[in-house]
Amino acid sequence: MAVFMGLAIDAASLYLTHARLKRAVDSAAVSAANDFKSGKTIENMTEAAREVLMLHDVDMTTVDLHVYDCLTPNLDTLAPSFDAICPDTTIYSPKKLIWVDATQAAPLYFMQLIGFSQVPLSTNSIAEAAPVDLVIVIDVSESMGNQTPGFVNGNYDPSACNAANDCQPLLDAKTAAQALVDSLYEGYDQVAIVTYDSIANTHLIDNSNGVDVLLSDKFTDDPLIATDDTYITVADTLNAIQLYDDPPITKIWPTWYSRGFSPDYAGAVFNPVFPDDRDGDGRDIDYPDCGSDPSGSNCCTLDEDRWDSTKDPFGWGGVPCDDDNKLDAYDFDGNGVYTTADTDAANNWLADPKHHSLSINSTCTGCGMRAGSNILKLYGRPNAVWVMVFLSDGAANMTDTHTSDPVLVPTQFPNGYCTSVMDVDFKNDKTWQAPWCIDTKIAADERYCIDDDPLTCPPDSIHQVANPVNNHYTVYDFTLDMIDSTALVKSDNAKELRGNDIAIYSIALGGAGDQVYGVAVGEQLLRYMAAVGDDGDRTTDPCKTTATKTDCGQYYFAPSGDRLLPIFEDIAGRIYTRITQ
């Protein structure tokens, strides 16, 4: 019995020693690969591996350590199994693979009584300093200027801070993004930048000139940067990113606006995507009698506030004077009466290439996710680690529209999936998905699906026909679908469509962590993003039991812009190497 107990003690000791050595060698391989990627020598990498082993309390006087790369002479003799996976360097470029092996003389205790004092334990690890294809997605809606002196919510002109490049917290976001880009390796990594407000803009980075940006004719939707085939630096690209100028919500005719905004949103009939389209059918005119006369006199006189309380066919408390040929939801000149100058001012505002629409909503989170995902799917390299860093400062309130993506959004949704839930005659349930298409029903864990085939819907979701009448598929549902199509690789439904192996790090800035009518809508969406982007599985959530506004898993919360730099630096330390064997 004493002999068997002694053998058991020695066996347990050897098992623990080997497990500790394996963990240490894995970490040493990652450290060495980091050095390899930055151009260090084998001697440097060996020293880095040695330091890591020592940090793991491995007694280096008992260890024989070797570090090799694919260019090591006589590799077929020194490490034949490693040599077998290295590419033929006469044909292919050498992969940035590092082999670390260690043999440790592990002491025995009971066996010393019969003449055995130690046993050699060996382990090895291969780490790849994988190339990184990185997409940084940044919210540039007007709220990203709310820390700028003089900011006025709902009616702010960002031209001055854009010219000075000091819109805050956007500047902090650009500075932090540049720090992350600076950690990449020229000639090896690739990066693209996506900005989004009510639509997404793409800035593609090409590897042929290191980590310089290539702007081609395919990306002419960005009016702020030259779109010829010339190269500019990533820093230039980031510096050129500007705060979006949201339409001035305070200049909407007060009666229209007040009919679309009430404390409980029970009577909201205001279309936040296209204010002139009150009923959501995609057309300006909502009450035909108003537009049958070019002057609109069948509804209002030209000097009124664009609201006729004498006619109330829909129970709205009146009808808007919405001539089908005029953009007359806004009192653009602010004089309290309508003239053609208001329509002219609206048209001039839209003619500026920096402006996309008259929508008061400008946080199309799903647009940013879709654009970032498409870059990786189109240009991501098969041997690279695909990474997305996603920053938002608010809750999603927009989706793509049929105009911005006619394939993704059918014609029956002219305002995207920010829709009214009226009946077919637009007379009864006169509400828009409230508040302003920010979906608060997620508190009930309801998710809707409009797939053509109900069998491909996410588990536990509610399928509905893609029809704007009584539609319950929301901006939030759309954004969840964009996240899934980006990074979901595991599902309990075998027929559900999958994404790709993409690591997503999400950042909630400021108001993105706040509650909207009792629900932290923005944060909940960003945490879902990080959960799927962690391991491709929506059911494994590192943040499940973590308090709100708290970092967890691959989700970060930044109360203000000055917190962004350390967050981006932390992300930089997490994405660059991987253990391959």
Three-state secondary structure call for residue 264: coil
Q: Does 64 map to a domain?
A: yes
Whether residue 80 is found in the same domain as residue 108: yes
pLDDT in tens, 497-535: 889 989 999 999 998 888 776 778 889 999 999 999 998
Q: Does 548 map to a domain?
A: yes
Whether residue 566 is found in the same domain as residue 484: yes
Q: Does 288 map to a domain?
A: no
pLDDT higher than 70, residue 298: no
**Stronger pLDDT, 522 or 218, i.e. the higher one:** 522
Chain mean position to CA 289: 45
Whether residue 393 is found in the same domain as residue 498: yes
pLDDT higher than 70, residue 225: no
Listed range (189-193, 285-289, 391-395) with the worst mean pLDDT: 285-289
Whether residue 114 is found in the same domain as residue 201: no
Mean per-residue pLDDT, 545-553 = 92
Whether residue 84 is found in the same domain as residue 229: no
Report the alpha-carbon distance of residue 272 to residue 416 in Å, rounded. Answer: 11
Contact by Cβ (8 Å): 98, 67: yes
Whether residue 210 is found in the same domain as residue 235: yes
Whether residue 165 is found in the same domain as residue 30: no
pLDDT higher than 80, residue 6: no
Q: Does 338 map to a domain?
A: no
Listed range (23-32, 257-266, 300-309) with the worst mean pLDDT: 257-266
pLDDT of 302 reads 63
Confidence band (pLDDT; 50, 70, 90) for 275? confident
Contact by Cβ (8 Å): 549, 523: yes
Three-state secondary structure call for residue 146: coil
Range of the domain at 83: 2-128
Domain boundary among 93, 128, 163: 128
pLDDT of 252 reads 86
Domain boundary among 103, 128, 153: 128
pLDDT of 455 reads 94
pLDDT in tens, 438-493: 776 665 578 899 998 999 999 989 998 887 777 788 899 999 999 999 999 999 99
pTM given for the model: 0.79
Contact by Cβ (8 Å): 476, 442: yes
Residue 137 is which amino acid? V
> What contacts 359, CB < 8 A, 6 or more positions away?
198, 247, 272, 273, 274, 398
Q: Which of 108, 104, 101, 107 is nearest to 120 (CA)?
A: 104
CATH code for the domain in which residue 202 is found: 3.40.50.410
pLDDT in tens, 47-105: 988 998 898 888 888 888 898 888 888 988 888 888 888 877 565 555 678 888 888 88
Domain boundary among 95, 128, 161: 128
pLDDT of 211 reads 46
- H-helix or E-strand containing 69? strand 63-69
pLDDT of 305 reads 74
Q: Does 262 map to a domain?
A: no
Contact by Cβ (8 Å): 365, 194: no
Q: Which of 403, 435, 398, 420 is nearest to 467 (CA)?
A: 420
Q: Does 93 map to a domain?
A: yes
Confidence band (pLDDT; 50, 70, 90) for 218? very low
The chain-wide mean pLDDT, for the chain, equals: 80
Q: Does 424 map to a domain?
A: no
pLDDT in tens, 231-267: 567 788 888 899 999 988 888 888 777 765 544 434 4
Q: What is the largest CA-CA distance in the chain?
A: 110
What is the domain count for the chain? 2
Whether residue 382 is found in the same domain as residue 464: yes
Partners of 127 in the beta sheet? 98, 579
Whether residue 70 is found in the same domain as residue 190: no
Q: Does 259 map to a domain?
A: no
Q: Which of 120, 114, 109 is nearest to 5 (CA)?
A: 109
Whether residue 31 is found in the same domain as residue 45: yes
Whether residue 59 is found in the same domain as residue 168: no
Whether residue 447 is found in the same domain as residue 549: yes
